Amino acid sequence: MLRPYLTVFKDSFHEAFASRVLWILLAVSTLILAAFAPLRLQVTQATDLQLHSVRNWPQLLRAIQEAASSDNDPARKRIWNKSNEDLQKRIIDATQPVPTEPMHRLLPRILRDLNALLEQRDLYDEEAWRGTILNGEATELLKQGIDQLSQAEVKRLNRHLLVAAFPVELAGLPDEQVHLLYAGYVLGGALPITATMAEPAINGIVAKGMDFFVGTIAVFVAILVTAPMIPNTFEAGAVDLLLSKPVNRIALFLVKYLGGCAFILLNTTYFVVGVYLIVGWRFHIWNQAILWCIPVFLFLFGIYYAVSAWAGVIWRNTTVSIVVTILFWASCFVVESVKLLVDRLYIEPARIVALAPTDDRLMALNLAGDLVNWSDDHWEVGRVSDWHGGPFKRAPQVITLTYDPVNDKVLYLEKQRRRGPMSVLGPSITLVRVGRNSGVWAKEETPAPPRGATGICRSPSGDVLIAAADGIFQVNNSSKTNKPTDLSIFGVTLLSGKSEFYTPIETSQDGSTKGDVLCAVIDAQNGDLVVLRQHLVTRLRRDEAGKYVVHAQLELPFAAQDSSAVDDEPVDDDSPSSNVPLLAASGENIWVCEPDGQIVQHVNGQWQPDKNASLKEVRTLLAVNDHLALLTAAGELRVQTRQGDVRFVRSEVTAIATSTDNTLLVGEDEWRVSEYDVASGKLLSQLAPKRDLLHALYDFALVPFYQVFPKPGRLGMVIDSLLNQNSSITAGPDEPLELASAELWRPVWTSGIFTLAVLAATSLYLARADI
């Protein structure tokens, strides 16, 4: 019974091997693999500085320039004195209000001169570095004697001396550098990655490359080659001969369909196995997930081939089969594009990303940067954003929206990644203050916030506080200090004046809020200011004189740190998740969440790990009535008690905040805001604007159709997820939320159901048609 079908199946393989196109594709694949085979990475100890390795160039240049007129630090003075005249002039020029050259031209020249400084054998002076702490490697190199060191060792030593002289400015400087080699020759300078970042970077490149060569080119060629197989099988004469034997026409069709997949199977297997071997051999990354791309690409071809086979059975014409398949591809592209355009132009800009409740209204910021407030049954725009990046570029990320009831102002921090040559200067942080004058909301001019600003909060007395790397600062609302005194070029603060706009808070103990501050929050229960530093959590309480008094200091069981300062972790400045630790406080309960999702709670006098599974990329941590609310970048909300018992979970959440009644406000489903009682999880109220016609069509027509429509073009994200072993993945560089695991695999099951439906419809036609 099975012999005729096996014969047909074997014939399909013979037909594939007999195809000249197959051998041409295999030859092209061989050339591509051979061209990439000589590539490899070389990891060496860093001896130079790189543009991307210094995280804060303005701060470093100011520190070097200040050494020219100060004798307080002999090591810094020595570095300045040993700098050549051109380097000194360029550093002075870069720290001027108006440099004579743009910063993106000055920085490479300054970098070149600094690396030339590292080559000097007489940079080290024992007296200059006597009070400076040197690491073990620098000490060992000095013991050998500078005259006995090679030139590479001299540069390595001087690099350590430079870091020792500027430990804060050069914090997180990578200790290694990665070069790309081709046939043993170095291509260009050091790559902006470290060894541990190389594997995910290579996996991403491999995923994109295979998606293009196999998922696009090979699949398209395979459609052209296999299109005649089904029409030829069922054309007059051929089908009569086949059906004269005891075979079932439906089984014959399905076997022929599977046999048609042989062409892409052979090409895909050859290319993917070749990539797997080259990546393992040359880069020492034996990622077996690469081999899983073979069934994924086979499945991708199967989707298109099902349509081609259906058209071949109906019209029995090769040209029609190809045209119908191309039209199907075009329809997939159109549906995906329409959904993307509607999302970017209409739905996503209105998504609520931050909430700020007041006594008489609810203020919010949407993804477009517009300040809105709830009025009757709709969101009323109070101030239109001045962002002009367009629908396909992400607006600046909002960090902590807060309302100042004393001055009737809304304040928040904006974080935006710099593009192009200025990206080496890190993200730009600005303070936005919007005030209301005669009922009209307008943006007010403010100076650049303190260095390393990470958050903003409001004390019970109405003081607006900013947590920054150099301490906790109070925003001065006096009209006399509204004009900025900082000088910025291209959004980069080059010269910081002594502005009174930001003033350090007064404390009863020096150092309790100064330096190494990672974040700070206000305890809503008692009004305490809780400050997180690397090893310490400090609780401060305001006394009658207005000073913050240290009420308690708690040693952390681990060293909290800003992940952007870790040199072996890739940091996306546009990521919606936080790169700094998060802090929440409610009464005697304090929670600390590390960027990796690890949470510890201080309760009953000791630190305890959270008993629940860690959430990936926690974006917001909020304490509400002895409960903890966690919001992730994927939009998952989890509310739990101080004992760790989960009260309720929500998905597709965009923002959370505490109401004036100590309930939880949750931004859901683009622009709806719900109010929950955290103890019971009960929905108390909901603010939902009425749907207009476009939004109704989007919800009840476009989205359902898009959900069930096949999405073969999105299988590239599945490949990327497989190679990087992620259960979720960002849909694109400008997507506001991550795609959760269910959404990530949706293209697989929707396309699978579509393929089965097309094959079933074709089989039904064959069963009833008179062929």
Is pLDDT at 767 greater than 60 in this prediction? yes
**What is the reported pLDDT for 496?**
45
Which tokens in the block code for residue 647? 């009260």
Q: What angle do CA 434, 440, 441 make, to 5 degrees?
A: 15
| Same-domain check for residues 491 and 414 | yes
Segment (H or E) for 621: strand 618-624
- Rounded to whole angstroms, the Cα distance separating 253 from 309 reads 9
CA–CA separation, 448 and 488 (whole Å) = 8
Mean pLDDT of the chain: 83
- Alpha-carbon span 259 to 298, nearest angstrom: 12
**316 and 379, same domain (yes or no):** no
Residue 411 has pLDDT above 60, yes or no: yes
Is residue 593 within 8 Å of residue 580, measured between CB atoms? no
pLDDT at 488: 47
User: What's the structural domain count of the chain?
Assistant: 4
22 occurs within a structural domain: no
| Statement to judge: residues 289 and 303 lie in one domain | yes
686 located within any domain: no
Contacts 24+ apart (CB under 8 A), 306-310: 306/257, 306/754, 306/755, 306/758, 306/759, 306/762, 307/758, 308/223, 308/226, 308/227, 308/230, 309/230, 309/253, 309/256, 309/257, 309/260, 309/758, 309/759, 309/762, 310/758, 310/759, 310/761, 310/762
Domain termination residue (choose one: 173, 206, 230): 173
- Using a CB cutoff of 8 Å and minimum separation of 24, what contacts does 321-328 make? 321/227, 321/228, 321/230, 321/231, 322/223, 322/224, 322/227, 325/223, 325/227, 328/304
**What average pLDDT does this structure show over 390-417?**
80
Most confident of 107-116, 397-406, 595-604: 107-116
Q: Where are the beta strands (DSSP E) in 270-407?
A: 352-357, 362-366, 371-375, 378-383, 397-404
Residue 567 has pLDDT above 60, yes or no: no
Looking at the fold, whether 203 and 322 belong to one and the same domain comes out as yes
Q: Evaluate whether residue 310 is within a structural domain.
A: yes
Could you say which of 173, 206, 225 is where a domain stops? 173
Q: Minimum mean pLDDT among 41-50, 279-288, 397-406: which range? A: 397-406
> At which residue do the structure tokens 């199946």 appear?
9
d(CA 34, CA 31): 5
pLDDT for 669 equals: 78
Residues 62 and 153 placed together within one structural domain of the fold: yes
Q: Contact at 8 Å (CB) between 665 and 357? A: yes
The tokens for 702 are: 């476009």
Can you give the residue range of the structural domain that contains 78?
A: 47-173
Residue 754 placed within a domain: yes
Q: What is the CATH number of the domain that holds 661?
A: 2.120.10.30
Clarify whether residues 500 and 514 are in a common domain: no
Return the structure tokens found at 208. Answer: 């994109």
Tell whether 621 and 759 lie within a shared domain.
no
Strands 589-593 and 599-603: antiparallel
Q: What is the pLDDT of residues 601-613, one digit of tens each?
A: 988 888 888 888 7
Q: Does residue 688 sit within a domain?
A: no
Residue 543 burial (C-beta neighbours within 10 Å; 0-12, 13-18, 19+): exposed
712: pLDDT strictly greater than 70: yes
Whether residue 564 is predicted with pLDDT greater than 70 in this model: the reply is no
pLDDT for residue 493:
46
Judge whether 213 lies within some domain: yes
The secondary structure of 287-303 as a DSSP string is -GGGGGHHHHHHHHHHH
What span, in angstroms and rounded, lies between the C-alpha atoms of 301 and 304?
Answer: 5
pLDDT in tens, 468-525: 877 889 888 654 444 444 444 444 444 444 457 888 887 766 545 555 688 899 998 8
Residue 352 lies in a domain: no
Own/partner long-range contacts of 12-16 (Cβ < 8 Å, ≥24 apart): 12/229, 12/256, 12/258, 12/259, 12/260, 12/262, 13/259, 13/262, 15/229, 15/259, 16/262, 16/263, 16/266
Contacts of 73 (CB under 8 A, 6+ apart): 67, 165
Residues 380 and 514 in one domain: no
Q: Is residue 574 domain-shared with residue 491, that is, in the same domain? A: no
The pLDDT score that the predictor gives to residue 577 is: 44
Whether pTM > 0.75 for this model: the answer is yes
Helix/strand/coil for 179: strand
Distance, CA of 597 to CA of 627 (rounded, Å): 18
- Asked whether residue 78 is assigned to any structural domain, the reply reads yes
Same structural domain for residues 299 and 430? no
For the stretch 722-752, pLDDT in tens is 887 764 444 443 343 444 555 677 888 999 9
